[in-house]
Amino acid sequence: MDHFLYRDGELHAEDVPVAEIAAEVGTPFYCYSTATLTRHFRLFDEALEGMPHLVCYAMKAASNQAILKTLAGLGAGMDVVSGGEYLRARAAGVPGEKIVFSGVGKTREEMRIALEGGVRQFNVESEPEMAALSEVAVSLGVEVPITVRVNPDVDARTHAKIATGKSENKFGIPIARAREVYAEAARLPGLKVIGIDVHIGSQLTDLEPFRMAYEKVAELTEVLRADGHEISRLDLGGGLGIPYERSNAAPPLPTDYGALIRETVGHLGCEVEIEPGRLVAGNAGILVSKVIYVKSGEGRDFLILDGAMNDLIRPAMYDAYHDIVPVREPAPGVEPAKYDIVGPVCESGDTFAKERVMPAVGEGDLVAFRSAGAYGAVMSSEYNTRPLVPEVLVHEHQFAVIRPRPTFDEMINRDTIPAWL
C-alpha cells in the first residue's frame, strides 16, 4: 500500500497534487511520501515486536538526509556500506550505536571513520578484512563488536545481479569455514565477536530461501556457542521484495517475514537485526516525468520522456519493470495505447518499457513511474550532462525540495582545467 492515489482526477502524493509539484520544481523529479516511508518502517518494526530487535534501514536504497531523518525519528538504525554512508547517517542524526557497517571491501580509512565516530557493529566479510579491522581497532585503542557474514550457499531466486547468497558470489565467508574463521576472530586483538550476519539477495518474492538461510544460521549459532563464542546478535540482512507488477502475485508481507524469523531463530534468545531497504523506500517514491514527443516508428509508437536511464537505471540494468501511469486520471473506458517508452539518452538501452499497454497520453502530459523510491535517485547520474534529478518529500499537504536540481553552471564548473590548457 502507498499514498500515491488518484483524487479528483489527479494523481496525488498524500494530499498534494503531483502536477502542482511539477509546476514548481520542473520535471523529471523524484517524489517521496512520508506516510508510506513511515508505514513500511513500522510494518517491520511491529513484525518483530516482543523480540529484542533493531530495524537497520539499508540506506543504499534511498539516502537523502530528509529520508534518513524521517526514519531515524521513528527509531530506525542504519545499515551502511561506505564511509560516505556512515557520515551521511551521522549527519542525519543517527547515533553511532545504531549504525551497522556492512560491505564486502571496507577500507582502513572507512574503518577509522566509523571507529572514531562510534558504531554498533562491523559485519566482517573476509579474513583479510578482519585482520585489517583488528589492526585499525588496536591503533585507535578500541574494541569493536563484530559479526562475520556467512555465505549460506542458498539460491535467492532473484535477478542474478542482486543475488548474493550463492557460493560463487563475492559475499561473506563460506559457511562451511565458519568455525575456523570465528576461531581466528577470537584470537585477534581489538575484535569482540558478538554474532552472525547473513544477507542472501534483494527483491526476494518467496520466503523459502530466507528459511533455508536462517535455519543454517540457527544451526551455526549452536555450533559456535559450543565452541565458546558469544553469539548474542543475529543480523539477518534485507531483501524482502515489493510488488512492482500489480498483476503478479503479491510477495510475502513483513508480518509473514517476521513470523518466519521467530520460527527459525526465535528460540536462540538473540537480539535480531534486519536490514530492509527496498521495502521501506520502494513504494514510497515515484519518478515524475513529462512526455516530450510521441513519435510514430515502424509498427510502433515511441513515448519519448524527459526522464532517462541516467535518472532511473533499473530497467536498463536489471530489465526491471516499473508501472508507468498518467498523472491525470484516465477517463473511464478510454482505449489503452501501446508504446515503447524511452528517454532522450543516445543509446537504445535507454528504454523503460517495450510494447507497454497504458492509457493514451500526449505531448506535455505528466507520467509517474511507480515503485521508484528505492535504488532510483541514489543510482542516478549526470550522463549526457543531464542535471542530477531532484528529490521532493511530501508530508500530508506540504512538500519540500530535499535535493535541488543543479544548474548547468554548477555542473560545468565542477570540472577544473589543468594549468597546461
Cell numbers 541516467 correspond to what residue? 310
3-state DSSP percent of the chain in helix, strand and coil, to 5: 35, 25, 40
Query: Using CA atoms, how far apart are residues 211 and 365, in angstroms rounded to an integer?
Result: 45
Output the nine-digit C-alpha cell for 402: 530535499
**Does the footprint of ligand LLP cover residue 79 (CB under 6 A)?**
yes
Least Å distance between CB 160 and ligand LLP?
Answer: 12
Q: Which of 83, 152, 190, 237 binds ligand LLP (CB under 6 A)?
A: 237
Least Å distance between CB 74 and ligand LLP?
Answer: 17
**Does the footprint of ligand LLP cover residue 278 (CB under 6 A)?**
yes
Least Å distance between CB 252 and ligand LLP?
Answer: 13
**Does the footprint of ligand LLP cover residue 321 (CB under 6 A)?**
no
**Does the footprint of ligand LLP cover residue 375 (CB under 6 A)?**
yes
**Does the footprint of ligand LLP cover residue 101 (CB under 6 A)?**
no
Least Å distance between CB 280 and ligand LLP?
Answer: 8
Output the nine-digit C-alpha cell for 224: 559456535
Q: Is 270 a catalytic residue?
A: no
Residue ranges of alpha helices (H) inside 48-177 are 65-72, 83-91, 108-117, 127-140
Whose Cβ is closer to ligand LLP: residue 238's or residue 326's? 238
**Does the footprint of ligand LLP cover residue 58 (CB under 6 A)?**
yes
Helix (H, G, I), strand (E, B) or coil at 125: coil
Whose Cβ is closer to ligand LLP: residue 233's or residue 395's? 233
Side-by-side strand order, sheet with 4-7: 4-7, 10-13, 16-17
**Does the footprint of ligand LLP cover residue 315 (CB under 6 A)?**
no
Cell numbers 523503460 correspond to what residue? 352
Q: For residue 225, how many other CB atoms are within 10 A of its CB?
A: 13
Whose Cβ is closer to ligand LLP: residue 38's or residue 102's? 102
- Distances in Å between the alpha carbon of 59 and those of 62, 175, 210, 255, 314? 6, 26, 21, 21, 17
Least Å distance between CB 230 and ligand LLP?
Answer: 22
Of all helices (H) and strands (E), which one includes residue 57?
strand 53-58
Least Å distance between CB 316 and ligand LLP?
Answer: 11
Q: For residue 132, how many other CB atoms are within 10 A of its CB?
A: 16
Q: For residue 301, how many other CB atoms are within 10 A of its CB?
A: 15
Contact 170, 133 (CB under 8 A): no
Q: Which of 3, 53, 98, 199 binds ligand LLP (CB under 6 A)?
A: 199
Output the nine-digit C-alpha cell for 398: 506540504
**Does the footprint of ligand LLP cover residue 28 (CB under 6 A)?**
no
**Does the footprint of ligand LLP cover residue 277 (CB under 6 A)?**
yes
**Does the footprint of ligand LLP cover residue 238 (CB under 6 A)?**
yes
Query: Using CA atoms, how far apart are residues 110 and 86, in angstroms rounded to an integer?
Result: 9
Output the nine-digit C-alpha cell for 167: 557460493
Whose Cβ is closer to ligand LLP: residue 238's or residue 307's? 238
**Does the footprint of ligand LLP cover residue 370 (CB under 6 A)?**
no
Q: Using CB under 6 A as the criterion, which residues of the chain lie in contact with ligand LLP when the complex forms?
A: 58, 61, 79, 102, 162, 199, 202-203, 237-239, 275-279, 314, 318, 374-375
- Residues belonging to the active site: 346
